[in-house]
Homo-oligomer: A and B are copies of this chain.
């Protein structure tokens, strides 16, 4: 099934734009609990109040081969038990030609994710191997949520910030299965990107850290149907004492502004 359809279905079913980041930092896991076991618990508690899960590859790679086995087990568990919930592999890849093809195959064939995050900076020939998977959503990183993201991403290109010029060029490619990543800390940038891509699927991360900004980012990010975007929260949900309640609370907070 095409990603956009799968996302639409789950947003309707769970009435939620919350994506939960499965980022099981080894330093924060209870003793003797594997990353997979930790994730499984979070998934069982939250699956009916989310629209997607997003494991960030770094947390598994940082745990070595065993970590990557836990990532695979997590994805397999989701596909076997909650196949209606899309899985975004947040891998932030970007490479050329044959190598990009290998990364696309790792994300989509091997891990079996429904979407993957990719850097646009190498140009179209580096992204096409991902786009060749027509049912998958390849999410390009335009504006990241970190404090220093503006150093390069906001450089002035003929009066337009770099990230926005990149977006305009990507738009001109007219590709159906490209998603748009914007950090939840940047609602003005979000609004500008939503203007360029009115009907695209967006992913935003970092929401929940500063609750005051939820209204601004939700209003800037939703499409004209009040959906079309996934708001990822990781630590604020998975390390909460009550992850189920935390996910629902964020869901309800976001829904207030849709």
Nearest to A157 among chain B residues (CB) is B155
In contact, A122 and B93 (Cβ under 8 angstroms)? no
In contact, B125 and A146 (Cβ under 8 angstroms)? yes
Q: Does residue A149 face the partner (Cβ distance < 8 Å to B)?
A: yes
A166 proximity list for chain B (CB < 8 A): 152, 155
- By CB atoms of chain B within 10 A, which of A23, A98, A99, A120 has the most? A99
A124 proximity list for chain B (CB < 8 A): 148, 151
Q: Closest CB-CB distance, A141 to chain B, in whole Å? A: 8
Bound state CA distance, A4 and B145, in angstroms? 33
A147 proximity list for chain B (CB < 8 A): 123, 125
In the complex, besides A25-B98, A94-B119, A123-B150, 12 extra interface pairs with C-beta distance below 8 angstroms are A61-B102, A61-B110, A92-B94, A96-B145, A122-B152, A122-B153, A123-B146, A123-B149, A124-B148, A152-B162, A155-B166, A157-B157
Q: Which of A38-79 contact B (CB under 8 A)?
A: 56, 58-59, 61-62, 64-65, 68-69, 72
For this chain, the copies found in one complex come to 2
In contact, A122 and B149 (Cβ under 8 angstroms)? yes
Chain A interface residue count: which class? 35 or more
Q: Does residue A144 face the partner (Cβ distance < 8 Å to B)?
A: yes
A29 proximity list for chain B (CB < 8 A): none
Q: Does residue A126 face the partner (Cβ distance < 8 Å to B)?
A: yes
In contact, A61 and B151 (Cβ under 8 angstroms)? no
Binding site for B on A (CB under 8 A): 23, 25, 56, 58-59, 61-62, 64-65, 68-69, 72, 92-103, 105-106, 110, 119-126, 144-153, 155-158, 162, 165-166, 169
Nearest to A69 among chain B residues (CB) is B65
Bound state CA distance, A103 and B105, in angstroms? 20
The answer to whether residues A152 and B120 also contact, given A56-B99, A58-B102, A69-B65 and a CB cut-off of 8 A, is yes
The answer to whether residues A95 and B58 also contact, given A125-B148, A151-B123 and a CB cut-off of 8 A, is yes
Contact of A58 among B100, B121, B153 (CB under 8 A): B100
Bound state CA distance, A144 and B99, in angstroms? 13
